[in-house]
Amino acid sequence: MQIFNSLTGRKEEFRTHQPGVVRMYVCGDTVYDFCHIGHARSKVAFDIVRRYLEYRGYQVVFVRNITDIDDKIIKRAAENGETIQSLTERFTRFMHEDYDRLGILPPTHEPKATEHIQGIIDMTQQLIDKGYAYVASNGDVLYSVSKFEGYGQLSGRALEDLRAGARVAVDEAKHDPADFVLWKRAKPGEPFWPSPWGDGRPGWHIECSAMSLDLLGSHFDIHGGGMDLKFPHHENEIAQSCAATGDTFASWWMHNGFVNVDDEKMSKSLGNFFRIRDVLDSGHLRDPEVLRFFLASSQYRGPINYSLVQIEQADAALGRLYTALRDVPLAEAFTPGEATRRFQAAMDDDFNTPDAIAALQTLATEVNRAKGAGDLAAAGALAAELKSLGGVLGLLQLPPEAFLQKAVGASALSDADIERLIAERKAARAARNFKEADRVRQQLSDAGVILEDKPEGTTWRRS
């Protein structure tokens, strides 16, 4: 298995620190607002990574943190006139609802920053003791980037360039413009915890270093997150963790690409910012699995363009896979064939989900061919293989009829309406009133309902 390592800039053969076990940390969310499709892109990508590693036989210890204290949270709670705990618990609940709808597996551990304050204080003290951090004149504890050899290795940014790009109005408490906060001295009215340097709260970067150390140890296998976290967040994590422990920290660094909307980068300022739940409830998706399929249709490292056209294409493509599974009794066991080999080869090549999905589409064609030939035994075995491989990507999790009969948009016809019209059409055909039967069929077609007449009766699905 080859995985692209952002730290080295190349694909490398994947080997775990502990045989048979993958220890993996993925940066989670700051819970003060609803999750958007950029969050969905990252979480689905690493959920697929986790699922495939488990499919390949690894025991995966998957950690995804929650940041439940920072400047944005404090500001939003004050604006709302509510407690920080009330705010963060509510948006943590909303986050779980969104991710559950997308079929994202819960992590093995989901630590909160406020639950690891002592570990953060301990790591900060280690960095002070080793000469990598200092207490500034304003009471903050800052990391001295000049003390860490190799700072900038992940992002490819030279320290001198970072200094040159710093704003003119540099914080006078810093020894170096590039230094960053480990522990923030509390301001009046802010939440705080006692520490050797006075009441305060953790800086953002130190949270992940302390939580990963506590739950995965000083050297683990994979650290993941969005491309936007590479600098400064992940760069600072490396500096903190390696300096504090003297160990390797993460062997592989994985970063997913950005989401564009209609070929423009998604941002609140452009007004093209979409929350997950708004997309799922917009009426444009037959099922949340369509969004998951869309996100999986591009390789995780590259950008992905979100548009209604792309969603419609994803719906149609996923619908073809479900159609292949329709009316086929799944075999209890199957012998993996060429499709499984192609699927594994694609996923072993840095989780190449587009090629993996192509293998599923080829397999669906084989299922349809076997169905057309009347070989239900072969179709059942192929369909079982298709559903099994789809499950590795978190797809094909519904009964085919349940997916295919879901409405897209504001349908004028309910399921009961459709069944009533089908019965009327059946009666018209029995009375040899084919003009009326054709009229009913056209009415259903205009409403986006496709009929399929079979010897055992008429089935339907929404287009």
Q: For residue 158, what are the CA distances in angstroms to 126, 161, 205, 231?
A: 26, 5, 19, 12
Residues 171 and 239 in one domain: yes
In a domain, 200, yes or no: yes
Report angle CA 403, 407, 412 to the nearest 5 degrees: 155
Give Dmax over CA atoms of the chain in angstroms: 93
The rounded distance, in Å, linking the Cα atoms of 322 and 326 is 6
In a domain, 112, yes or no: yes
Burial of residue 374 (CB within 10 Å: 0-12, 13-18, 19+) is exposed
Provide the residue range defining the domain that includes 319.
Answer: 282-294+302-404
The rounded distance, in Å, linking the Cα atoms of 283 and 35 is 19
* Residue whose C-alpha is closest to residue 25's, from 151, 109, 114, 124: 109
The rounded distance, in Å, linking the Cα atoms of 7 and 166 is 24
Confirm if 318 and 290 have CB atoms less than 8 A apart.
yes
What's 8's DSSP letter? Answer: T
Q: Is the peptide bond before 19 cis (omega within 30 degrees of 0)?
A: no
Q: Which residue has the tokens 């001198």?
A: 160
Residues 371 and 424 in one domain: no
Indicate whether this model's pTM tops 0.75: yes
In a domain, 51, yes or no: yes
Known binding-site residue numbers for ATP:
268
Confirm if 2 and 40 have CB atoms less than 8 A apart.
no
Residues 426 and 334 in one domain: no
Known binding-site residue numbers for Zn(2+):
27, 208, 233, 237
In a domain, 92, yes or no: yes
Confirm if 266 and 260 have CB atoms less than 8 A apart.
yes
Distance of alpha carbon 25 from its chain centroid, rounded? 13
Residues 153 and 26 in one domain: yes
Task: CATH number of the domain at 342, please.
Answer: 1.20.120.640
Residues 317 and 241 in one domain: no
343 phi, psi to nearest 5 deg: -60, -50
What's 337's DSSP letter? Answer: -
Task: CATH number of the domain at 13, please.
Answer: 3.40.50.620
Residues 107 and 80 in one domain: yes
Residues 222 and 358 in one domain: no
Q: How many residues does the chain have?
A: 463
The rounded distance, in Å, linking the Cα atoms of 326 and 315 is 16
How many domains would you assign to the chain?
Answer: 3
Structure-token pair, residue 100: 């559950």
Confirm if 323 and 283 have CB atoms less than 8 A apart.
no
**How does strand 59-67 pair with strand 21-30?**
parallel
The rounded distance, in Å, linking the Cα atoms of 211 and 226 is 18
Residues 133 and 203 in one domain: yes
In a domain, 422, yes or no: yes
Q: For residue 418, what are the CA distances in angstroms to 284, 319, 323, 330?
A: 20, 19, 19, 27
Structure-token pair, residue 407: 């409405």
Residues 88 and 59 in one domain: yes
Q: Which residue has the tokens 């618990």?
A: 89
Render each residue's pLDDT in the chain as its tens digit; 463 residues: 999 999 999 999 999 999 999 999 999 999 999 999 999 999 999 999 999 999 999 999 999 999 999 999 999 999 999 999 999 999 999 999 999 999 999 999 999 999 999 999 999 999 999 999 999 999 999 999 999 998 999 999 888 777 765 554 456 789 998 999 999 999 999 999 999 999 999 999 999 999 999 999 999 999 999 999 999 999 999 999 999 999 999 999 999 999 998 778 777 667 677 899 999 988 889 999 999 999 999 999 999 999 999 999 999 999 999 999 999 999 999 999 999 999 999 999 999 999 999 999 999 999 999 999 999 999 999 999 999 999 999 999 999 999 998 877 655 577 888 888 888 888 888 888 888 888 888 888 877 788 888 778 888 887 6
Residues 81 and 168 in one domain: yes
Structure-token pair, residue 66: 């929650």
Return the pLDDT at 268: 67
Return the pLDDT at 22: 98
Burial of residue 293 (CB within 10 Å: 0-12, 13-18, 19+) is buried
Last residue of a domain, one of 404, 428, 444: 404
Known binding-site residue numbers:
27, 208, 233, 237, 268
In a domain, 46, yes or no: yes
Return the pLDDT at 172: 77
Residues 196 and 309 in one domain: no
In a domain, 226, yes or no: yes
Residues 248 and 330 in one domain: no
Helices (H), ranges, 373-447: 376-392, 400-404, 415-430, 434-446
In a domain, 410, yes or no: no
- Residue 259, phi-psi category: left (phi > 0), alpha (psi -120 to 50), beta (remainder): beta
* Residue whose C-alpha is closest to residue 425's, from 387, 385, 388, 460: 460
